[in-house]
Every structure is written in structure tokens, then in C-alpha cells.
Amino acid sequence: DTGVSQDPRHKITKRGQNVTFRCDPISEHNRLYWYRQTLGQGPEFLTYFQNEAQLEKSRLLSDRFSAERPKGSFSTLEIQRTEQGDSAMYLCASSGDGANYGYTFGSGTRLTVV
């Protein structure tokens, strides 16, 4: 297992376009998380999946954002009608069960909206 994979690494899009990111977690991890990080700040929680169920969403996740995890494997994060304020690094992480199971993060997808 090569860890958490994210694709693409970089995405430049015009304002108003839709974009979709993919995350492949560590295969035995049933928990998957999406975070967003802007320059000079720590990551901010967006959403969390336990297997295929989306159990928690941040208020940061406006109705333009949607995340899925079909079959409890990979996950996608879609942003519709992108805005310049969406420019950020989008990080995916996975973990096993248990309150004290550490997180493994992917390398992130850097989104630039022009």
C-alpha cells in the first residue's frame, strides 16, 4: 500500500467551472476525511465518511460542494461554480477505527481559480 493518493496534484480552473478531485485512502482504513488549507493556515475540516456514509459536514461546505464515497473505497470532492475564494489546498486523510487511530494524509490537490 502506497498510502493516501490524491489526484490531480494541481488544478487551475476558470471561475464558474466545476472541478472534481479524487482520493484513494489506505485500503484497510474505513474512515476518510477532507480538509481545506489556505496559505499560512492550518487545515480546516470539511467532511468525514465512515465507509460509504457521510457522517459529518462542516458549515464551510456550502451547497456548491459535494463529496461522495461510493462503496466505501475512493472518494470524490466536487466544487460547482468555482469562486476565487475556493483557491486552496484540498487534503484527504484516512484512518482506522478507534478514537486514537492516527491519520494518514495525502499530498493534496492545489486548486487555483482564475
Among 43, 67, 86, 111, binds other proteins (CB under 8 A): 43
Among 1, 51, 56, 96, binds other proteins (CB under 8 A): 56
The 66-105 site mask, x for binding other proteins (CB under 8 A), equals: -------------------------x-x-----xx-xxxx
For position 31 contacting other proteins by CB under 8 A, the verdict is yes
Q: Residue 84 or residue 100: which is nearer to other proteins going by CB?
A: 100
What does 32-86 look like in DSSP terms, one character per residue? EEEEEE-TTS--EEEEEEETTEEEEE-TTS-TTEEEE-GGGS-EEEEESS--GGG
Q: How far apart are CA 45 and CA 53, in angstroms?
A: 17
Please tell me what DSSP assigns to residue 98.
S
Sites of contact with other proteins (CB under 8 A): 4, 6, 31, 33, 35, 40-45, 48, 55-56, 58, 91, 93, 99-100, 102-108, 110
